[in-house]
Amino acid sequence: STAGGIIAGTFGAWTGLFDTILKPENYSEQQSGWFAFGTLISCIVGGLCFGALADTRYFQRRLKILIVLAFICCFLAVFFFELSVHTVFNDKPLLHSTSLIIGLSVAFAGFFQGAALPLIYEAMAEIMFPLPESLSASILLQWLNITALILLFIAPNRAKLINLLVLIALGTSIIMSLLARITYRRRDEDERKECEKENEQLLNSDNMDPYQNQSISQSQYGSIS
């Protein structure tokens, strides 16, 4: 929950400050707004794609692999973005800043950040079972809101600092995800109930067989006589 809340809150604050971050690169407020809009659309697409992938039989019990993969790809996309803007370590961008480079980097960052978020919700629901899913979702949202508020208060006019904090948050989330242990308690319980239901249906069908055989025998005896 901490890793998911930190990265979601940090990412939300980061996209909300695109105007401040991209202003030194001579991008207008309107262009920054379009970059943020594209990032949001990418988040939605990423969540849909990875959600469908996580529902496949192979990845149903491998959520951790998908979460770590999404975090690493998001880290690389943000790192590529920061090569095109001013940072704490460089007064000049290492790469030539163009709308295409900025757009692609934030789109990929949004895609993989959006891909990780629903998987984290699912993993928390599995770990915290039998507690209700609403509780795990509330905890994640609290971490998200706290992180976003802290960043918005700390770095509203510090573009270089917010870029560095995003990378630190992503790196921390990757480490925390690698150390986390996901147990599939809810899925185990669902499978147990499904097996019990199938066994009960088999028992009921077996109990019905003698009556069916008896009725068939009686009908055959009556026809012979």
Sign (positive/negative) of CA torsion 186, 124, 180, 63? Answer: positive
Q: Is the pLDDT of residue 5 over 70?
A: yes
Mean pLDDT of the chain: 78
DSSP single-letter state for residue 155: -
Q: Is the pLDDT of residue 42 over 70?
A: yes
If one compares 166 and 217, the residue with the highest pLDDT of the two is 166
Q: In this predicted model, what pLDDT tens digit does every residue of 163-189 receive, in sequence order?
A: 888 888 888 888 888 887 777 777 777
If one compares 46 and 185, the residue with the highest pLDDT of the two is 46
CA distances from 98 to 27, 44, 169, 176 (A): 10, 24, 26, 34
Q: In this predicted model, what pLDDT tens digit does every residue of 92-123 receive, in sequence order?
A: 767 777 888 888 888 999 899 888 888 888 88
User: Which CATH number does the domain 2-183 belong to among 3.30.70.1170, 3.40.640.10, 3.40.190.10, 1.20.1250.20?
Assistant: 1.20.1250.20
Q: Is the pLDDT of residue 40 over 80?
A: yes
Instruction: Compute how many other C-beta atoms are within 10 angstroms of the C-beta atom of residue 7.
Output: 29
What the block records as the tokens of 3 is 């890793």
Q: What is the pTM of this model?
A: 0.75
Q: Is the pLDDT of residue 157 over 70?
A: no
- Which sequence spans correspond to the domains of the chain? 2-183, 187-225
Averaged pLDDT, 32-43: 88
What pLDDT sits at residue 224?
Answer: 45
Q: Is the pLDDT of residue 45 over 50?
A: yes
Assign 150 a pLDDT band (cuts: 50, 70, 90): confident
